[in-house]
Chains A and B, each alone.
Chain A
Amino acid sequence: MDRRKLEEGFFKVLMIAATLVVVGSLLALFLVVLLKGAPALSLSMITQTPQGGYYLGKGGGILNAILGSLCLAAGATILALLLALPVALFLQKEYIGRSRFATVTRLSLDVLWGVPSIVYGVFGFIIMVYLGIRASLLGGIIVLTLLELPIMVRAIDEVLRRVPQELKDESYAIGATRLETTTRVVLRQILPGAVTAILLAFGRGIGDAASILFTTGYTDRLPHSLLDPVASLPLAVFFQIGTPFPEVQQRAYASAVILLVIVLLLSIISRLLVRKFTKYVIR
């Protein structure tokens, strides 16, 4: 009898320890990056562009990377939403049914979800070479759209699955078509979840480096055209962390901090918006 209690106690301690390690690693990450990066943050850091070269240069800030990342992520998220929403809605039973096609589609979306971002980058690169586009804002947006697509589809699909069939049946019983039920009832019901999905994909788009490595280039300048290279926060960290110049390294740390802040903000905004949009949702 005692042995069982002992075993339980032992594993309980182990479990709590494990959870502490997991939580602790998150806290350690935030602590380390913020400690190193906070001193690097100043008004000039976020409002200026790098002076004299992003790798070898001195001084200046990371405005180019901040604006570049925002353009990339915003463009990609909008395009991804235009494609992901119809796809996720089509995965509902009343459209796609239970056919072979449904299974194959879901499977291929699962695979897309798991494809490493570097593979998206490489594929994007092939497409760009084929189309004659060089490393640019446009190239980055295209690749990030492909990257965000399966993430958004899966996230929206998960929310759609939780919509009770009876709710949709109520709409059909009045004589609504599938389109009307989807746009007037289902979309309203999933609004908070959809917002979370969009912000989730946006967060992925703004933070990913491997996919934009070949396809977006890098520059000191602010984004000014779709066909020119553009700076980005993740690459700002990656390219500038190994530099011999401390001022340039500072920019890398600052970029990392900004990225963390953005991720935190997205999480908070997501929760706030969900609360705001849940007014009409049927439980």
Chain B
Amino acid sequence: MRFRKLKDIVASRLMLSATVFSALLVVFIAVGLFLKSRPIFAIQSLNKLLFSSSWHPLNGEFGLYPFLMGTLWVTVVAMVIAIPLCLLTSIYLAEYAPRKVRGVVKPMIDLLAGIPSVVYGLFGILLIVPLTKSIAPVFGYTTNGYNVLSGGIVLAIMVFPVIISISSEVIETVPYSMREASLALGATKWQATKLVVMRSALPGLIAAIILGFARAFGETMAVLMVVGNVAQVPSSVFDPAYPLPALIANNYGEMMSIPQYDSALLFAALVLLVVVFLFSVGARIILARVERRYQVG
């Protein structure tokens, strides 16, 4: 009996160490990136790093502003496309879709989540790039197809599964009694959904969107392959852009040869980490509040 107790204690100590290590991993990554990006501050202030548009590594100028804006443009376009589509789909799947449809569509969305980003990129090159190239003249622009819009569309599709899966779950967890109360008063199903269910699910939906945004912000390969990679702040969706992750991915080769280049890129990675951190924490706080509300009620 004592031996069984001993095994239990040893096992739980091992599990604790594994957990502590995993919990500290974020810290290790943050510290590592921070230490390695420190040298850049010797030659350029934080202000210039973040807000200057001149990116000339050979001259020691590392203004990340165009890349930050590029990331922002592509991500915002992706969210503008994704949010309405995902919300409508989630409501449909959670409230209206017949079981058979749900049974077919949900696995398909899960499948979307598993597709590698380079395949998305390839899809983008084969279909989306020609698409934007041909519709640009309708709006009075010309483009070779490698632009913010292409990046945004591809990114939107990549983000669908994240937002839809969390959103449908949130909507499904709204207790049936809420809908019942509304329907009993004579509301149509849509009114019940619009006025009661959505209001109740709102925080969870916001969390889903935040997580989708975070995922889009850091996505590298697919966007890189279709967005043009020109280091300028875009002025329209038909302009090319150069998102931050693409910058890092494209230039790791030159990193070692030009002084401070690696620090600058590692700082870019640190920026990505911080943004994702803030968004993840924010979403988690909202979701925790949602959980708590249903436990008390």
Contact = CB atoms under 8 A, between A and B. Distances in A.
Contacts of A122: 33, 248, 265-266, 269
Does more than half of chain A's interface fall in helix, strand or loop, or is it mixed? helix
Interface stretch (B44-52, B53-61, B81-89): B81-89
Contacts of A39: none
B91 to A, nearest CB: 6
Looking at chain B's contact residues, the main secondary structure is helix
A33 B265 contact: no
Interface string A142-171: 000010011001000000000000000000
B41 interface: no
Given A105-B23, A209-B117, A32 B248 contact: no
Interface residues of B, number: 84
A210 B221 contact: yes
Interface in A108-133: 108-120, 122-123, 125-127
B89 A19 contact: yes
B88 A19 contact: yes
Interface string A210-244: 10011000000000000000000111011001000
Contacts of B157: 25, 29
A174 interface: no
A26 B189 CA distance: 29
Interface in B246-262: 248-249, 252
A46 to B, nearest CB: 17
B297 interface: no
A86 B11 CA distance: 9
A16 interface: yes
Nearest to A83: B18
Interface centre among B22, B33, B97 (most CB of A within 10 A): B22
A178 B13 CA distance: 12
**Residue among B11, B24, B225 facing the most chain A CB atoms (10 A cut-off):** B11
A214 B24 CA distance: 23
Interface residues of A, number: 85
Interface in B1-55: 4-5, 7-8, 11-12, 14-16, 18-19, 21-29, 32-33, 36
Interface string A186-228: 0000000000000010011011111001100000000000000
Most buried by A among B7, B110, B249: B249
B8 to A, nearest CB: 4
B26 A23 contact: no
B215 interface: yes
A29 B249 contact: no
Contact of A86 (B18, B117, B281): B18
B127 A28 contact: yes
Nearest to B217: A116
A108 B23 contact: yes
B142 interface: no
B188 A5 contact: yes
Contacts of B105: 19, 22-23
Contacts of B16: 90, 95
Contacts of A33: 119, 122-123, 126
B160 A114 contact: no
Contact of A21 (B85, B93, B120, B191): B85
B141 interface: no
B140 interface: no
Contacts of A208: 116-117
Given A115-B29, A122-B248, A238-B225, 8 more contacts: A87-B19, A91-B19, A112-B25, A117-B220, A118-B248, A123-B29, A209-B220, A267-B111
Interface pairs A-B: 8 shortest CB-CB: A116-B218, A207-B116, A18-B88, A8-B190, A15-B92, A90-B15, A177-B8, A210-B220
Interface of A: 4-5, 7-8, 11-12, 14-19, 21-23, 25-26, 28-29, 32-33, 36, 83, 86-87, 89-91, 95-96, 104-120, 122-123, 125-127, 146, 149-150, 153, 177-180, 200, 203-204, 206-210, 213-214, 233-235, 237-238, 241, 252-253, 256, 259-260, 263-264, 266-267
